[in-house]
Amino acid sequence: MRQRSLRTLAAILSVTAMTASGAACSTKAPNGSAGPGGAGGGPGANAKIAFLMPDLASTRYELYDAPLFTAKTKELCGGCEVLYQNAGGDAVEQQQQADSALAQGVDVLVIDPVDSAAAATTVRTAQGRGVAVIAYDRPIPAVRADYYVSFDNEKIGSMIGRSLVDHLRATSAEGGLLQVNGSPTDAAAGLIKKGMRSAVDSSGFRLLAEYDTPAWEPAKAQSWVSGQISKFPGGIAGVVAANDGTGGASIAAFKAAGVTVPPVTGNDAELAAAQRIIKGDQYNTISKPIKTVAEAAATAAFAFVRGEKPRGNTVLFGTPSELFTPTVVTRRNIAEVLVGGGKPLKASEVCTRTYAAACAAAGVG
């Protein structure tokens, strides 16, 4: 039911983006310049930009990435049209969506790949037609995209891992660690995995086992962790999980087994993760404001349609890249960093009746 509702939301957002684009186009002045609410005439004034997201396993793409990217694009270019699609975790579907966008004459293609290796074909096809490609959130290592926008994924892995290790040392924890990685077809997950492993290998704690979670699916992560609980009874000091979905699944596995939940990491600062942190079920997450990357991608896309080439602040896999540094969130700083006025999450959303007492104790709300 949740998956169906997210697919419905994806369709609504796609139609909304195109409808908004049509409305903006209708405000253009007779001389070709855009009306109020967007850039004036000149190169790129009526460009088409494809925004192709990977899956519905995470709620972020429908709730935040797509609307934020579209809003910034409309701010920069009132006459521009955003063609938004979500592949629902299907690499073949995403390839078809890219082909459809190219057939519709897009000027720039922004893609968060389901499968980083398979996306190389999309990059080659688009560039062969003179269409710039921006890799978004997840890199495409096999070919050089025209630009890459993301948070520093290797640093994310290192940060959540070291945060957990420091906590385990401070509490004199005993036992070993489980490492729950992301999708094996996601290059960003590979970078997060590398960062987590660097923290684990230097921690002094034994790595009991690790798992690459197919398509980031929480149910598969939960099933694997359940098996490890049986294999290492009482011997798991903590779980280094690559995102909030796999972290929440790990926590669910311990609760289902009826044993104490050890400290568990996360990443993405989802609403449910914030609630788990406040309640004490999850140890940390990563705050990486999606608005930052969504707006940076929109700005880069608009530069390309105007014939400009953004430089970024580094180079990754041979691609000019704009990487941002995230923030580790624990119960200690959640009120300062993540929840409350002007922050990514609203206190009214996080501190529902179930979490009211925990929020008060944590100074949230």
pLDDT-derived band at 42 (thresholds 50, 70, 90) equals low
Residue 183 pLDDT grade (very low, low, confident, very high; cuts 50, 70, 90)? very high
Closest to 163 measured CA to CA, from 190, 191, 200, 188 = 200
Look at residue 330 and tell me whether its pLDDT is greater than 80: yes
Query: In the predicted model, what is the mean pLDDT of residues 74-100?
Result: 96
Q: Helix, strand, or coil here: 83?
A: strand
Determine what percent of the chain is predicted with pLDDT higher than 70. Answer: 88
DSSP letters along 221-290, please?
HHHHHHHHHHHSTT-EEEEEESSHHHHHHHHHHHHHHTSPPPPB---S--HHHHHHHHHTS---EEE--H
Question: Which residue has 């600062």 as its token pair?
Answer: 269
Which residue type occupies 6? L
pTM summary value: 0.80
At 365 the pLDDT is: 80
CA distance 130 to 133: 10
Q: Would you say residue 201 has pLDDT above 90?
A: yes
- Give the chain's mean pLDDT: 89
Q: What is the mean pLDDT of residues 301-326?
A: 95
Q: Which ranges in the chain belong to alpha helices (H)?
A: 2-25, 60, 66-76, 91-103, 119-128, 153-170, 187-201, 218-231, 244-257, 271-279, 290-305, 334-337, 347-350, 356-362
Residue 85's H or E segment, with its range, is: strand 81-86
Average pLDDT in the 225-243 region?
98
Q: Which of 5-14, 153-162, 185-194, 348-357 has the lowest mean pLDDT?
A: 5-14
